[in-house]
Homo-oligomer: A and B are copies of this chain.
Amino acid sequence: MAVGQSHVRKDVRAKVTGKTRYTGDYSMPGMLHAKYVRSSVAHALVKGIDTRAALALSGVEAVFTHADVPKKVYPTAGHPFSLDPDHQDVADRLLLTNHVRFHGDEVAIVVARDLLTAAKAAELVKVEYEELPVCVTSDAAMAEGAPDIHEGGNIIKSTSFETGGIFSDAEREAETVVEGSFSTPIILHCHLENHTAHAYMDDNDHLVIVSSTQIPHICRRIVGQALDMPWPKIRVIKPYIGGGFGNKQDVVLEPMVAFLTTKLGGLPVKLELEREEGLVATRTRHSQTVTARAGVSRDGILKFLDLDVISNTGAYASHGHSIPMAAGSKSCNLYPKAVTRFSATTHYANIPAAGAMRAYGSPQLFFGLEGVIEEAAREIGMDSVDFRIKNSARAGDILSKTGDLKHSVAMVECLEKGRESIDWDNRKKRYADQQGPLLRGLGVASFSYGSGTYPACVEIAGCRLVLNQDGSVHMQIGATEIGQGSDTALAQMAAETLGVEYQAIHVVSEQDTDVTPFDPGAYASRQTYVTAPAVQQAAEKLKKRILAHCQLMTGENAANLDLQKGKIIQSGDPEKVVVDLSELALDSYYHKERGGQITAEVSAKTRTNAPSYGCTFVDLEVDVEMCTVTIHEIINVHDAGKIIHPLSAEGQVHGGMAMGIGMALFEELLVDPESGWIFNGNLLDYKIPTCVDIPELKSAFVDSFDPTSPYGNKSLGEPPAISQGPAIRNAIWDATGVKINEIPMTPKVLFKHFKAAGLI
């Protein structure tokens, strides 16, 4: 069985030996280097730009300002194109602006023979600003009389839905109602590889872009939109990527490098962001305020959930309103018995633009949702785990958003496994009556997520398989490997269905929109789920063609043949080898009279969306006097369907947990509410946890097989990062009796709350 085994990752040796080639490892003779001139203020009109000194510097090829760029605004969010004109992403971006909207906005760009000269010249560009009032917070941005950051005002969209029943009825039926307001900060992705891209023209009208992107096919389309070029005249190549976490699910540098090469006679032009630029001038995780209410009956039935999200998308819309809406929609899979009312408002502000980040709004929403669930359980005196088990989705439930009974649902099993693993019941008793400054607490939080974007967006994936001369198989997939292991998982699937060894599948990891089967890219934890049908069908097709060639070669009826372990055998008799696949492959290529290269290609749309589930259990100690938190034990339990590659799955969970802990306890981009200045846009002052900050991470999976996937798998990319925040918050409450409804729960924040509560 190729699926379910922890095979050697396709990319692991290249990565650990440093052989992997990233975008920056490709170059071209005569390549020019570009450097942005970024605004030194957060909100202003550009009154004048003096480029003379920059242009006079030897080695400078050109300086462009807003006056030189196309005047057509374009969207940047990495969503597939929609046939519905009302379902397009917000187009609010120009390549360069004369209305700067955050501290670091792109005012001009310098192109020079080398990066150092470009950087020097960028500093020589003098920009004159007419400053405008600054709105940093949601309150400021949505206040009456706030300055318009974009034409049409600061609110991008405000929408709501109700699901699961009549909300007012449920509200009436609730006997206890609890509520809270929860806030989350601006978080940065901090992927290892900075954004970089270069472009050149290989014809007067054929443009090539090499980029560290999660979404090569979408990138192609957006560059076409930005530059008003036919999409097929643009070619996007994606080499290996050093991480993205959603920050490369946005089209950030590509329209600019494309523009520059068209302006510079097709010469290759490269843009590589420095770490500090990348932290503030790409995308961030939305800072949100979640106001949550929950109503329960006396016997512990969750009657309703009322969730309202204010989402601060910053200077540009990027993924904008999709973020809270997607999270809201996926959250409804968790407690389907409750009637849910969900509303969200997304607004602009003079802070860096927020976009997609791992779990796409869910860490923020579940911080509020699982906070108020904890509130409800405690309010009615039920155990936190019992309450969740009582109300969680079960197999057979009608899930209001996926609307389908056919999915695997193992939320309850996750909670039970987590409870047992952390010895919840015994420890609960042990920690019941503590004294002194060191207090232990237990916390739990659940989450639900989706597998892909259907029905919000089209779900399409492609796979092409080629039988090589030695009987191995090349696999081209539109799905993009960004470090998450998709190449490996999809190779396992192909091997499984085809009947060859995992090692016999060679994955063409680089995507090239000229030749790679279409797939919008890596996001929404979609790839193994949505690509699985394409891989499975392509493998079936290839196998059928292989057996047909065997019939040509041997005269044996293909209907009686099968392919197992790289050999064509008589069906049902694996010992009876008809011909080795390598011999058949050579024949198919080189026999003068029969056959041909054997390939198979499938483009498949997915019209289901399997809900995935899980939870975090944490046992921690609060030092009340020092206002610190020490995690003694933390475990994530997941229902991700069939686990394709256990070791990668565990790695995926560990990475997500570290991110979630970072968000809960450490990370926040600090912006001055008065000036919009960014205080800590660097990795010295912006604190991501390092290995000394992260406790031992435990993970577990429950047995589950989703019938809508040929291999039973569901999403696992993003979910591991969702539930640490509320679990830790709930554990701190458990330990100290203090509810902290804001993250990160740094010593400074704990101090404020402990002080207010009279603990210190």
Contacts and interface: CB of A to CB of B under 8 A. Distances in A.
A604 interface: yes
Contacts of A604: 596
A457 interface: yes
A476 B513 CA distance: 12
Contact of A462 (B221, B592, B597): B597
B512 A515 contact: yes
Interface in A447-464: 454-455, 457-460, 462, 464
Interface residues of A, number: 72
A24 to B, nearest CB: 7
Interface string A229-266: 01111000000100000000000000000000000001
Given A29-B24, A204-B14, A460-B596, A232 B470 contact: yes
A28 B468 CA distance: 28
B19 A25 contact: no
Contacts of A230: 470, 472
A17 interface: yes
A80 B201 CA distance: 34
A120 interface: no
Interface stretch (A56-64, A127-135, A583-591): A583-591
A509 to B, nearest CB: 9
A586 B201 contact: no
A22 to B, nearest CB: 10
B605 A596 contact: yes
B590 A470 contact: no
Interface in A7-63: 11, 13-14, 17, 19-21, 24-29
Interface in A462-479: 462, 464, 468-470, 472, 474, 476
Main secondary structure of the interface of A (DSSP, over half): loop
Contacts of A462: 596-597
A601 interface: yes
A204 B514 CA distance: 27
Interface in A586-613: 586-587, 589-599, 601-605, 607
A517 interface: yes
A113 interface: no
A390 interface: no
Contacts of A739: none
A339 B308 CA distance: 94
Contacts of A469: 81, 221, 231-232
A464 B517 CA distance: 11
A247 B345 CA distance: 67
B232 A517 contact: no
Contacts of A17: 204
B603 A596 contact: yes
Nearest to A12: B203
A733 to B, nearest CB: 43
A468 B83 contact: no
A608 to B, nearest CB: 12
A525 B587 CA distance: 24
A686 to B, nearest CB: 29
B204 A597 contact: no
A753 interface: no
Contacts of A474: 232, 514-515
Interface in A487-510: 506, 508
Contact of A593 (B231, B472, B597, B605): B605
A25 B29 contact: yes
Interface of A: 11, 13-14, 17, 19-21, 24-29, 80-83, 200-206, 221, 230-233, 240, 266, 454-455, 457-460, 462, 464, 468-470, 472, 474, 476, 506, 508, 512, 514-518, 586-587, 589-599, 601-605, 607
Given A25-B29, A598-B603, 16 more contacts: A11-B203, A13-B205, A14-B203, A14-B204, A14-B206, A19-B201, A19-B202, A27-B28, A82-B590, A83-B586, A83-B587, A230-B470, A232-B472, A455-B592, A462-B597, A517-B599
10 contacts: A17-B204, A21-B200, A26-B28, A515-B516, A517-B599, A594-B605, A595-B605, A596-B602, A596-B605, A599-B601
